[in-house]
Chain A
Amino acid sequence: MKKLTINKNTKDNIITYGIIIAAYIVMELLINTGHISSLMQGLLVPLCVYVILAVSLNLTVGILGELSLGHAGFMCVGAFAGAFFSKCTQGVIPVDLLRFILAIIIGAVAAGIIGFLIGMPVLRLRGDYLAIVTLAFGEIIKNIINVLYIGKDSSGFHFSLKDSLSLGLGEGGEVIINGAQGITGTPKDATFTIGIILIILTLVIVLNLIHSRDGRAIMSIRDNLIAAESIGINITKYKLMAFSISAALAGMAGVLYAHNLSSLMATPKNFGYNMSIMILVFVVLGGIGNIRGSIISAVILTLLPELLRGLSNYRMLIYSVILIIMMLFNWSPKLINLREKYSFKRLFKKTREVQ
């Protein structure tokens, strides 16, 4: 019995990796033979970004069992840290790939550190209170980035929280982060291949964590905190571990996001609570704790508004209706029963497997 479960896990993981690699091969084939629309080609990197975000949030929501509404904040930290690094070193490091890899590491580490610092005080809150505190942190990060001015001139870096004039830049100085105007001219280093590599990296980290001793400790906290504590599991350590890893992965996604656009700004749309909630929607729709589900739902929900473009101004209305219907279809106990009753498996096989 035990052996069987292990096999099931491995099999499950192989399928997940398989889906990603198959998707990559199919897309690369389509790109190389020219059978792909510009829209789809433009969407490939964003898709990778959202898949990483969904998987990383699933670590917090599904595996650790804590509701976080500030995931976009970590993405924002990663995006700005990475883009700032790239912008500064654009002339210094001529090899794009090397610079981008360094930017990814910097973005992930920055977001991980912020995640750790935020996690330390707040992870003792529970449920909806934790949710609101993470939402608050996300908004704080966005608000601070919006008034953050960093410039560079011959005498080094200058910081200000007021406006770019108070930086007091010398001759030939350059404003790198310009408050609400953000960072413009980030090199466009993100490619689909790097995106896929980062997804696989994310999956390796998350899946290995889940199936490790640490992962089981984390899940025991989710299932019953007091019981976990009573058998000597260090609650704070494991909570922080899951939370910071999740934040670091979100930061990584942020770097990828920033290097796909030439203008990076912290607007309510991309780094506000709306985005955090959108990532949560990916996770919940795909099944809480279900990594493959997160990937699939992130892809579907990112593509859906684009597929609905033909509906012109009714697009977002129909999108919301589809979202509600998918949620009901996926989660309603009545519909789940109904689906099981009339499932294909059951129609084709006369008897269900005896459990």
Chain B
Amino acid sequence: MSFISYLINGISLGSVYAIIALGYTMVYGIAKMLNFAHGDVIMVGGFTVFFAVSMQGLPTAAGIILSVVLCTLLGITIEYIAYRPLRQAASSLAVLITAIGVSYFLQNMALLIFGANTKAFTSVVTLPAIKLAGGQIMISGETIVTIVSCIIIMTGLTLFINKTKAGQAMLAVSEDKGAAQLMGINVNGTISLTFAIGSALAAIAGMLLCSAYPSLTPYTGSMPGIKAFVAAVFGGIGSIPGALIGGIVLGIIEILSKAYISSQLADAIVFMVLIIVLLVKPTGILGKKIQEKV
């Protein structure tokens, strides 16, 4: 019985990683950059809801909308100021470093505005928990909402990319920016749109992260951000269903290794499994193998 309840705990944790990883992998897949600031956009999303709902007393729905809008704008702005000028830079590492700069900036900005004290986040989910087997097994409302959101977002993104013109443009940009430009695709606009969507997803992930684990500080986003990055790589970075699978698998491994091996060494074990998976399948679970041309 305890195994099943650990498994469910793993899925709960994994679903949170998955929803963050979806945004990560979306941006990585199209713009081909590791956006280290993604975790901090998540934090901004959480703080916006906290500010609107808990401090200003707005209805939850208004807080959610405000958060999504704000994060979308933030994502577009960050891309415009910090990433776009470096898109043609000699090395793709340059933009990685500005992303780190942006991450520091967002953290310190939040620290100055909201202070360092931990804030308890009021869950945006009102769904009650489901109890099975006489209360021994419990699935929280947050978990259900997170998993449903993951599936909706995953389906929505897949449809968007494959069925709409803008989505096809994204695919083209991710394949070859130069050729896409020649085909009359607005590359800058497409990448802006990618960041807008990625950041809107970050806002949603932020709310769900904080609902599931209700403590909010300026550094709330950074560690889940890294974990989600690991999850995205696990699933095959750039692959949208991969992000979902990677997130859930990561969560389950983390919980089970804590439960059955060692709670002190859980981080090491998770990373060890990641390394083994990548050594066996170097592009992640669902990653595409790319044949390199000379």
Contacts and interface: CB of A to CB of B under 8 A. Distances in A.
Interface residues of A, number: 51
Nearest to B284: A129
Interface string A100-121: 0000000000000000000001
A314 B105 CA distance: 11
A333 B88 contact: yes
Contact of A331 (B86, B264, B268, B284): B86
Contacts of A277: 36, 100
For B34, B93, B272, which residue has the most chain A Cβ atoms within 10 angstroms? B93
B52 interface: no
A121 B112 contact: no
B101 interface: yes
A273 to B, nearest CB: 7
A37 interface: no
Interface string A130-154: 0111011101100110110000000
A207 B278 CA distance: 33
A161 interface: yes
B114 to A, nearest CB: 13
Contacts of A129: 233, 278, 282-284
Contact of B274 (A128, A133, A273, A314): A133
B105 A133 contact: no
Interface stretch (A77-85, A86-94, A237-245, A279-287): A279-287
Instruction: Decide if the interface of chain A is mainly helix, strand, loop or mixed.
Output: helix
Contacts of B102: 320, 324
Contacts of A21: none
Given A133-B275, A314-B112, A333 B89 contact: yes
Contacts of B36: 277
Nearest to B222: A274
B51 interface: no
B151 interface: no
B271 interface: yes
B229 interface: yes
Contact of B104 (A136, A224, A284, A319): A319
B175 interface: no
Given A136-B275, A280-B97, A147 B229 contact: no
B268 A124 contact: no
A300 interface: no
Instruction: Decide if the interface of chain B is mainly helix, strand, loop or mixed.
Output: helix
Given A136-B274, A140-B271, A284-B96, A331 B265 contact: no
A328 B91 contact: no
Contact of A281 (B100, B278, B283): B100
B104 A323 contact: yes
A147 B262 CA distance: 11
B171 interface: no
Nearest to A274: B222
A128 to B, nearest CB: 6
A334 interface: yes
A153 to B, nearest CB: 24
Contacts of B132: none
A137 B86 contact: no
Interface in A299-339: 313-314, 316-317, 319-321, 323-324, 327-328, 330-335
Contacts of A335: 85
A49 interface: no
B105 A331 contact: no
Contacts of B284: 129
A330 B89 CA distance: 10
B16 interface: no
Interface in B238-267: 262, 264-265, 267
B233 A132 contact: yes
A324 B105 contact: yes
Interface of B: 28, 34, 36, 81-82, 85-86, 88-91, 93-94, 96-98, 100-102, 104-105, 108-109, 112, 226, 229-230, 233, 237, 262, 264-265, 267-268, 271-272, 274-275, 278-279, 282-284, 292, 294
